[in-house]
Chain A
Amino acid sequence: MSSLDPIEIFRTEAAELLDTLESTLLDLGEKPGSAVLIDTAFRALHTIKGSGAMFGFDRVAAFTHDFETAFDLVRQGNVPASVELVNVSLSAKDYIRMLIEDPDSTSDIIGEAVLEELKHLVAGSAPAPVPAAATVVPQPVADAASGWRMGVVFDPGILRNGTNPLALLDDLRDLGSCEITPRLDGVPDLAALDPEALAIAWDVTLTGDVSREAIDDVFIFVGDEVTLTLTSLDEEVPVATAPEKPVDTVPASGPVPPAPAHRPAPAAEAMAQAPEARAAARRPDDRSSATVRVEASRLDELMDRVGELVIAQARLSQLAGLQADPGIKSISEEIERLSARLRDTTMGIRMVPIGSLFSRFRRLVHDLSRDLSKPVDFVTEGEDTELDKTMIERLADPLVHLIRNAIDHGIEDPVRRGAGPKDPTGRISLTAEHVGAQVLVSVRDDGAGLDAARIRAKAEEKGLVAPGTPLTDQQIYQFLFAPGFSTAQEISALSGRGVGMDVVKKTIEGLRGTIDISTVPGAGTTVSLRLPLTLAIIEGLLIRVGEGRYVLPLSAVEECVELPEADRNTRGRDFLNIRGELVPFLRLRSLFGAEGEPDPHQKVIVITAGDARIGLVADQIIGNHQTVIKSLSKLHADVTTFSGAAILGDGTAALIIDVGQLVAGDGAERIQDFQEVA
């Protein structure tokens, strides 16, 4: 399980690099002149090329090489980073991703087409004289039959990135016979010497038939951190500039590494060097070692163990409470404090900033805006809001739907916008913020807003509501979540098929969240998702029904009241009058077939799920209970009333009531079933 497959590592790393590349390209679309962005993109490409070649992804390496070549012109400032260029580069990036993820079913034709377009764009706008430099491969001096003389000057900070320059020199030696001479003039006095800075440069005379490319490959991972000056020995008539007599004895001056003295197994060394070099190439100033990649399943396991610890600790506290020994009590309190903190820390590990999700949508907005010819500004806010990792993953699809809808249906076309007081460029904002123990994620557009009359007409046409029924606007908007509901006049490739909103709603409710729509005609629509921070923990209300204890998600609980005397036994109607509103209620005792005497003072817990508001009658309200959610076994898949179980302080399980199911599933019908069983 823990064995590391290098191919898999490459895939993961490449995926990250491609993400970086994508966001950089998108930024570049907005700030075409930024040299920093161009460099970042270039570096990402370079690393993908290098490690792709190393791990046998030859097609990736070859394609990226050509891509990089074209992009190099942009880097040199010969070609502006136009919108078209960014678009093509994005397709090129997609193609690289395909090559990495599913090489077999990815045809070269796509890549060729992309390259063709890329070259066309680059050539079209490139000033005439440069094309020679346009390609990296054909060097002015292609190959030097007799060898090279080069100066190798590394960035002084290169050692901090973990790169070992000596290993690179060893790699050069593998190419042919080398004479390597250190340039020591840069070495300062011992007092001024910074042991972490590289003060030495090298002169290398490499003899033999070595291509320029082979030399470049040696330094592929150090990229910008090395300055190479190369002269071919062919061109260089054996004149006086021939290397000065090599310094045979390297003066052992302090911490200067004994340069070419030793020569470990070069291949092994190069391999050992590679990961560090890659890390260094990615971003020289990045302290990337501050993060550790861990399998999600291990985190789940950790969470389980901590959950068990918390339960064991609760039992210990209970026992300690019965003991007179103050020593036991203080230890128990200590353990209680520690385990609570351990639990919080463990939960913290699972929390991921939502920004990682938001950045994925920039591409979506970019593409949609292009395809629909609706210029759109995409604004995100609250990227550092943290949410449980699983939650973030499951939010992706619903948000894609919402953003698509916002652009396709929400934002008007630019002509219509321009005619009014609005900026022709639309605006989509995606925000996240903490609200109490929940996270509020909203998708807002500044489009035309929802047309309640049209939605109503559609709902009547579909038979969802009888014509003329009095409905509030909010109730009308709820029809948008009905399966197969769409008011779009034309079915586009993007939206309007009527699938989507109901799926969005289901997913959000599956995450124990809620969804709301608000709209201002002419000014836009906001869809707000309210979500719990984590799926692993539930803040619940513990209740007793007969002998059994159950947990209700606290987020669904609205209020608790006592069941009026008159309603203790059913009188044919089971609903309460709460401040003038009719609230139907379910008797959990009969629903769960509870045994034992009912409590003389029955309580009603009023819960909301979606728009429905119902009461649940229980024997006793025990109190708040924060607990780790345990899923029920596959064998209990047929039980829909409960969404999971929680482990109580005494080690027994309490079932968590699935409020949505209870309200949606016909409660009355179920009561009958259970009564028949009982």
Chain B
Amino acid sequence: MAETAEAVRQEGALQVVMLRIGAETFALDANMVREIIDPIPATRVAGARAHLANVVNVRGNIVPLADIRERFGMPPTAATRDTRFVVIEVPIEDDPVVVALVADKVFEVTEINFDERQAIPKIGTSWRPEYIKNIVKFGDEFVIIPDIERVLN
């Protein structure tokens, strides 16, 4: 999986799933996305970190429901008609871990061009730089490619 992603990357393009979280557009490597589901009831885990405060039952497995808004300094918002859970598989310390990610809206699977990559600005953002792999210009927008492993853990 990593190899194919790498191969594609060398050509300068990457298959991604575009989604909106808060006011920002994020792009996730399509290879890590297992499925996109409608919101399901979640169970709060007392004592868990704020961005992993809930768990959900995805096909018989209990997986953390990650809300990464907190990690990017965005206020929590209630679910809307467009809210989706993006089930992704991320390597955490080399073990694949399944996580459901809350997205305010899922747009499309598309290809982004790495030639449009922008340097991550040092000022003008309160984001922690280690959470972001890249910022890529897509159309008129800037799209964030998060380092999802760091964001989650």
Which residues of A does B touch, CB under 8 Å?
Answer: 304-305, 307-308, 311, 548, 591-593, 630-636, 638-642, 644-645, 647, 650-655, 670, 674
Contacts and interface: CB of A to CB of B under 8 A. Distances in A.
A634 B60 contact: no
B61 interface: yes
A157 to B, nearest CB: 49
A639 B60 contact: no
Interface stretch (B9-17, B47-55, B118-126, B138-146): B47-55
A373 to B, nearest CB: 48
A354 B32 CA distance: 42
* Interface-centre pick from B44, B62, B63, B152 (highest chain A CB count, 10 A): B62
Nearest to A646: B62
B48 A639 contact: yes
Contacts, number: 83
8 contacts: A304-B60, A633-B64, A635-B66, A638-B49, A652-B41, A652-B57, A653-B56, A654-B43
Given A308-B59, A636-B52, A655 B95 contact: no
Contacts of B48: 636, 638-639
Nearest to A307: B60
Nearest to B98: A633
Given A652-B41, A653-B56, A633 B46 contact: no
B97 A634 contact: yes
Nearest to B55: A653
Contact of A636 (B44, B55, B59, B98): B55
Contact of B43 (A633, A638, A652): A652
Contacts of B40: 651
Given A632-B55, A634-B95, A647-B57, A639 B41 contact: no
A607 B55 CA distance: 26
A639 B46 CA distance: 8
Interface in B43-99: 43-49, 52, 55-57, 59-64, 66, 92-93, 95, 97-99
Contacts of A650: 41
B123 to A, nearest CB: 31
A287 to B, nearest CB: 37
A641 B43 CA distance: 15
A641 to B, nearest CB: 5
A662 B40 CA distance: 29
A635 B61 contact: no
Given A305-B60, A631-B62, 13 more contacts: A304-B60, A633-B64, A633-B99, A634-B95, A635-B52, A635-B153, A636-B45, A639-B47, A641-B46, A644-B62, A645-B43, A651-B40, A670-B47
Given A591-B46, A592-B46, A630 B95 contact: no
A639 B45 contact: yes
B43 A674 contact: no
Contact of A635 (B43, B56, B92): B92
Contacts of B49: 638
Contacts of B45: 632, 636, 639, 642, 655
Nearest to A653: B43
Contact of B62 (A305, A308, A653): A653
Interface in B17-59: 40-49, 52, 55-57, 59
Contacts of B60: 304-305, 307-308, 311, 630, 647
Contacts of B98: 633
B57 A633 contact: no
Nearest to B44: A548
A655 B92 contact: no
Contacts of A644: 62
A641 B41 CA distance: 21
Nearest to A650: B41
5 tightest A-B CB contacts, nearest first: A308-B60, A592-B46, A645-B62, A653-B43, A630-B62
Nearest to A654: B43
A33 B60 CA distance: 57
Contacts of B43: 548, 645, 652-655
A593 B40 CA distance: 22
A640 B48 CA distance: 9
Contact of B64 (A631, A636, A640, A654): A636
A308 B45 CA distance: 22
A663 B131 CA distance: 37
Nearest to B60: A308
Contacts of A642: 45
A149 to B, nearest CB: 64
B17 to A, nearest CB: 21
B99 A653 contact: no
Contacts of A308: 59-60
Contacts of A304: 60-61
A634 B61 CA distance: 13
A593 B52 contact: no
Contacts of A636: 45, 48, 52, 55, 64
A345 B47 CA distance: 37
Contacts of B93: 634
A634 B94 CA distance: 11
A635 B97 contact: yes
A630 B47 contact: no
A663 to B, nearest CB: 16
Contacts of A639: 45-48
Nearest to B56: A653
A642 B46 CA distance: 9
Nearest to A629: B62
Contacts of A655: 43, 45, 55
Contact of B63 (A311, A592, A593, A633): A633
Nearest to B59: A308
Given A635-B99, A635-B152, A651 B41 contact: yes
Contacts of B152: 635
B101 to A, nearest CB: 12
A305 B61 CA distance: 10
A181 B39 CA distance: 79
B151 to A, nearest CB: 11
A654 B43 CA distance: 7
A306 to B, nearest CB: 10
A489 to B, nearest CB: 45
A640 B47 CA distance: 8
Nearest to B50: A677
Nearest to A308: B60
A652 B65 CA distance: 13
A156 to B, nearest CB: 54
Question: Which interface residue of A631, A644, A653 has the most chain B CB atoms within 10 A?
Answer: A653
Contacts of A632: 45, 55, 62
A674 B62 contact: no
Interface string B94-118: 0101110000000000000000000
Nearest to A633: B64
A307 B48 CA distance: 26
Contacts of A591: 46
Contacts of A652: 41-43, 57
B5 to A, nearest CB: 22
